[in-house]
Chain A
Amino acid sequence: MSEATAHSAVHVHAPPSGFIRKYVFSVDHKVIGLQYYGLGLVAVVIGMILSWLMRLHLGWSTLAIPGLEKLSPAGAPGNVMTPEYYLSLMTMHGTIMVFFVLTNAPFSGFGNYFLPIQVGAADMAFPRMNMMSFWVTLTAFLVLVAAFFVPGGPPLSGWTAYAPLSAVGAEAGPGQGLGQTLWGVSIAIFCVGQLLGSLNFIATTLDLRTKGMSLARLPFSTWAWFITSVIGLLAFAVLLPACILLVLDRAAGTSFFIPGGLVISDRLQPHTGGSPLLWQHLFWFFGHPEVYIAILPAIGIVSHILPAFMRKPLLGPRVLISCMAAIGFLSYMVWGHHMFVSGMNPFSALLFSVPTLVITIPATIATLLWIGSVYGARIRFTTASLFCLGFISVFISGGISGFFLAQPSIDTYLHATYFVVAHFHFVMGVAAIFAIFAGTYFWMPKMVGRMMNETLGKIHFWLTFVGVYCIFMPMHYLGLAGNVRRYAAFTDDYLVPLIPVHQFITIAALITGAAQLIFLYNLVWSRFRGPKATDNPWQATSLEWSTTSPPPFDNFGGRQLVVNHEAYEYGVESPEGDYIMQTAPETAKAH
């Protein structure tokens, strides 16, 4: 080996041998991807249990939940949660789900595992930085979860941590002491992890593509992870200082987000001149792009998986990529639509409403491209393709309510109601979760070398698909009926007649949640007992299917791949069948 390559080549390290270097402090992007996925799995279980607790309380507000008092003696005396503790659970549910599930699994998890493979690289551009990004993220998670066990419990200001409630300290309520500070610190740490990850994704996509892998030949998933990295790079860069300023307000006596003359718990707060709106501006400048950080990888994953089961390419691949880029670009101009009822100047509301409606154009084009592609295709109905179709369904259901909410006059009525809860759970939560499921059923054979059980998978899909509609569809009606969100119970006012709807939703949530046990069982069972996967079980075309299942340490066993074809050449005649792999020789194309 020449001297020049010896001192700067980061990729020619031998596979590690010890357990710790191999599976714990690993620099292998595949292990890191699985670590992110595992963290997402732990987080989603916690987040779902929290939602169960909330749903039980919303349906039956005097119900004692056994064991809850052990978790928080003050928050649930006699096992019945206090309204404050309900808000704590809601805050933790939102924070864990948005940051540690919807950002972690489809972007950091699958992205880490498959981005280098799909571009034909042996690893990420900066493997050590990659390892660091995971451990930083894990630290953020542990700091957040620690809030359950500190005096006062977790914060109760929501995942948006609106000031001044989040900024003034323990007087603002249980959980607003150390719990809220931990929240701010945790999210600041999380931002650092995401920035490191984004740098890595961008450098890898641009620099480490193998021979012949032009940008136009990149799979949709890689494009989505790349665009998401660019969004993340600029969005988390604002949340990071915002969280630091919030912690300064809480710990160092500054008044960035706290107005003067504020009386809390009968005490005049020693702050002057700050602005709660300023926090909202900073938070949502990050917060809206964050929605696309969750959904763009989902769009990419679904667009990547669908062609393999339709056996034909998607319509307008370049248009789809442009749509993703347009969504990413526009995501920075619409943050004010979260603030229509904040007291912001109504003219600003108009200004934010227009780009919000404009953003529906690329989103609609993407949807029409999927529907147009699916139309007339002879789809192979596997669990993965069902979850892709399910994704399109919930994306439309959640997207349509967006048209309403984008308009200030309608949003003023609906903003603080369950209509918004239904909207963002469909379009951001469930849609991204469906893409995670689709990705799991599709890629698990590659990641662990074993197939997942299709029968269990399909049962899981139908229960989940019907379940999420039973949970979130009625919430639209609740919202239109004026059912405010973030209330712990509706016991003695005009909302009492709506309680049966809440009880229905709770039952649906319990059943849908229980259905996820089928998925977990399938995941664990398949990992150890599933039939061995071949290298390319789905007859797919992109580079991850050109290597063994699971791939070796350097992904391609020392081969340098040469890419000769577009990412999705399905429905053609070739020696392999009806598809041409990206690595197939040039001559394989039949004319």
Chain B
Amino acid sequence: MSEAEMTAGHHAGMMEESPYAIPSGKLAMWCFVLSDAVTFSAVLFVYGYLRIGSTNWSTPFQLVPSVLNGIVMTFVLLTSGLTMLAAVEAAKAGRTAAGTRWLWATCALGALFAGMHLMEWRHMYEEGWRLFQNPLGGSVHFGAAFFSITGLHLLHVLGGVIALAIIALGFPSGKYNRIDVEITGIYWHFVDLVWMFVFPLVYLMNAK
């Protein structure tokens, strides 16, 4: 190997050769997750701040259908976390075909979650909820908080679904390797984790 090749291998070749153990892509994804967690915290802080300051907060969610729907959505998303885990394990073990199948399963579950969420949005919209409007006459911040928090999360889910599809398409041909699958996994689990804050704070705490 020439000197230039050694440099390349050292910097970004096979990730195991990195003297500092963490592949750059993975490190960057962890940093992004950290930063994104702060973003979600800020939005949840806004929700809490305005809710505590309100005297007429609405708690419109019925157990059926809203909370039940939320529970099913949570179940779907958590299951997608499991399939993602299987995808990462398969990729690590070099079982490319299985890994790809699990990636598509995760992608499908993510899309299902997003679909259910959009249905729920439509339902709320038909009831008269807007970013700036509360059909029950209570604080207008309910709609603002609900749509902005779940909207931010939904954007993350949709971004994840697209990323999963891209990785799943390129994984069999070797365009993306197991590290890329793992990086997508970190992101997907984070989206999963955020929902575990959003669901109780936005759904359960607003149940009738």
Contact = CB atoms under 8 A, between A and B. Distances in A.
Given A5-B5, A9-B8, A241 B43 contact: yes
Overall SS of chain B's interface: helix
Contact of B131 (A206, A236, A253, A278): A253
Contact of B11 (A122, A241, A285, A558): A122
B172 interface: no
Contacts of B13: 2, 4-5, 8-9
A558 B7 contact: yes
Given A11-B7, A195-B35, A207-B24, A273 B54 contact: yes
- Highest count of chain B CB atoms <10 Å: which of A5, A9, A242, A558: A5
B131 A248 contact: yes
Interface in A525-582: 558-560
Interface in B5-20: 5-15, 18-20
Contact of A206 (B20, B139, B175): B20
A198 interface: yes
Contacts of B36: 237
Contacts of A281: 49
Given A234-B38, A237-B39, A255 B28 contact: no
Interface in A231-272: 233-234, 236-238, 240-242, 245, 248, 252-256, 272
A10 B53 contact: no
Given A233-B31, A237-B39, A1 B20 contact: no
A122 B36 CA distance: 29
A1 B9 CA distance: 10
Contacts of B4: 12, 558
- Highest count of chain A CB atoms <10 Å: which of B8, B34, B131: B8
A237 B27 contact: no
B18 A207 contact: yes
Contact of A560 (B3, B20, B35): B3
Given A238-B42, A256-B50, A278-B50, A11 B20 contact: no
Nearest to A270: B132
A202 B31 CA distance: 8
Contact of A4 (B14, B20, B25, B141): B14
Interface string A274-289: 1100100110010000
Contacts of A254: 131-132, 140, 144, 148
Contacts of A560: 3, 6-7, 10
Given A5-B5, A9-B8, A12-B8, A245 B28 contact: no
B22 interface: yes
Contacts of A4: 9, 13-14
B125 interface: no
Interface residues of A, number: 52
A31 to B, nearest CB: 19
A126 B8 CA distance: 14
Contact of B140 (A198, A237, A255, A559): A255
Interface string B29-47: 0011011101100110110
A125 interface: yes
Contacts of A122: 7, 11
Given A207-B20, A255-B144, A256-B46, A8 B177 contact: yes
A357 B174 CA distance: 56
A256 B148 CA distance: 11
Contacts of B49: 275, 278, 281
Interface of B: 1, 3-15, 18-20, 22-25, 27-28, 31-32, 34-36, 38-39, 42-43, 45-46, 49-50, 53-54, 130-132, 139-141, 144, 148, 152, 174-175, 177
13 contacts: A12-B8, A203-B27, A206-B22, A207-B20, A207-B22, A245-B43, A248-B131, A248-B144, A252-B131, A252-B132, A256-B50, A272-B140, A273-B53
Q: Across chains A and B, which 4 residue pairs bring their CB atoms closest together, nearest first?
A: A253-B132, A5-B13, A237-B38, A125-B24
